[in-house]
């Protein structure tokens, strides 16, 4: 029940857990962890993706819970961290990169539409930011967002990694992608299930440490191909199920 103080009823606090997938982020991670508004967050789960540096140690030193996922991949790391929430789920899960490109202090911006009851999924959009995003990332994001709009009528400007989602919505999505398709998969499946969403502008900057995806040709091509493939696959399965619905 909501606590009553001098006759006033306050809504119960929203329980927020943060998931940070991290692969060799020993330099960046302490900054990320210190800049999270701790008064708003219950647990921080760092999913150490087989790091060969002190990522796990620095995460523990800063008070985060650490889980290990040896299979490389952004999605694999996020899925491993999600398993950790099952025993005592939060109300909201926030995903945040461990490379200090996002501004963790902007977390309240992501929570606001959920607290207001206007959205279950909130994407931090880096659309207006010049720093941190490579030209190929910008183009890839734009193409994916145009496709999302054309296919599902949803209006996004970015596939940003800094995002908040209610636990119930997250569970309903049945997330499965184990690497670069994670962000677009969440937006596709939320659109298919008609989950209320919002976008809020967030700042972005150059990462601390060595680039693993967008700064490499292999990473960029791999990520773009995966995103397009996922979009295509979901469209095909939508068409198939429409066909089945029409069958007598
Ligand atoms: N690339 C990559 N990142 C992983 C993996 N597992 C976890 N991560 C983490 O996912 C986050 C995003 O990865 P980044 O390397 O920043 O990828 P990006 O943001 O597309 O590109 P850059 O910031 O330019 O490197 C970071 O916190 C990584 O440490 C993995 O297998 N590959
Ligand atoms: Mg990054």
Task: List the chain domain ranges.
Answer: 13-246
Q: What is the pLDDT of residue 232?
A: 83
Q: What is the pLDDT of residue 12?
A: 63
68-90 residue pLDDT tens: 999 999 999 999 999 999 999 99
Strand-pair category, 92-95 with 121-125: unpaired
Average pLDDT value for the chain: 89
Q: What is the pLDDT of residue 240?
A: 74
169-222 residue pLDDT tens: 999 999 999 998 999 999 999 999 999 999 999 999 999 998 876 656 666 777
Candidate from 20, 23, 55, 129 with most ligand 1 atoms within 8 A of CB, to mutate: 23
Residues with CB under 6 A from ligand 1: 21-23, 25, 49, 72-74, 77, 97-99, 101, 207, 211-215
Tell me which ligand sits closest to the C-alpha of residue 47: 1
Atom from ligand 1 closest to the CA of residue 55: 29
Q: Identify whether the C-beta of residue 96 lies closer than 8 Å to the C-beta of residue 102.
A: yes
Q: What is the pLDDT of residue 4?
A: 43
Q: Which residue has the higher pLDDT, 60 or 4?
A: 60
Q: What is the pLDDT of residue 246?
A: 56
Please name the residue whose Cα sits nearest to atom 28 of ligand 1: 22
For residue 55, which phi and psi values (nearest 5 degrees)?
-50, -50
Atom from ligand 1 closest to the CA of residue 23: 29
CA 44 to CA 20: how far, in whole Å? 8
97-125 residue pLDDT tens: 999 999 999 999 999 999 999 999 999 99
Please name the residue whose Cα sits nearest to atom 32 of ligand 1: 73
Instruction: Give percent of the chain above pLDDT 70.
Output: 88
Q: What is the mean pLDDT of residues 35-54?
A: 97
CA 188 to CA 152: how far, in whole Å? 8
Q: Identify whether the C-beta of residue 23 lies closer than 8 Å to the C-beta of residue 46.
A: no
Is the domain covering 13-246 a CATH 3.90.550.10 domain? yes
Q: How far is the CA of 170 from the centre of ligand 2 (A)?
A: 22
Q: How far is the CA of 154 from the centre of ligand 2 (A)?
A: 25
* Bridge partners of residue 17, in order along the sequence: 43, 93
For residue 66, which phi and psi values (nearest 5 degrees)?
-115, 130
Tell me which ligand sits closest to the C-alpha of residue 214: 1
Q: Which residue has the higher pLDDT, 18 or 129?
A: 18
Atom from ligand 1 closest to the CA of residue 22: 29
């Amino acid at each position: 029940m909501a606590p009553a103080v001098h006759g006033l009823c306050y809504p119960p606090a929203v329980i927020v857990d943060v998931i940070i997938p991290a692969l060799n982020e020993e330099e960046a991670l302490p900054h990320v962890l210190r800049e999270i508004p701790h008064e708003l967050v219950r647990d921080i789960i760092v999913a150490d993706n087989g790091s060969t540096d002190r990522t796990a140690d620095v995460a523990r030193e800063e008070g985060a819970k650490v889980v290990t996922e040896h299979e490389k991949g952004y999605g694999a790391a996020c899925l491993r961290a999600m398993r950790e929430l099952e025993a005592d789920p939060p109300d909201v899960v926030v995903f945040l990169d461990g490379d200090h490109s996002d501004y963790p202090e902007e977390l309240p911006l992501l929570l606001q539409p959920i607290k207001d009851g206007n959205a279950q999924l909130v994407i931090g959009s880096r659309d207006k930011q010049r720093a941190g995003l490579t030209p190929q990332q910008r183009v890839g994001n734009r193409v994916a967002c145009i496709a999302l709009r054309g296919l599902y009528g949803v209006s996004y400007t970015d596939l940003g990694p800094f995002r908040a989602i209610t636990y119930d919505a997250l569970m309903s999505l049945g997330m499965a992608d184990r690497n670069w398709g994670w962000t677009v998969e969440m937006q596709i499946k939320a659109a298919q299930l008609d989950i209320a969403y919002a976008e809020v502008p967030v700042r972005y900057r150059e990462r601390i440490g060595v680039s693993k995806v967008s700064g490499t040709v292999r990473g960029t091509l791999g990520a773009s191909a995966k995103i397009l493939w996922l979009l295509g696959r979901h469209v095909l399965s939508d068409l198939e199920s429409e066909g089945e619905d029409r069958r007598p």
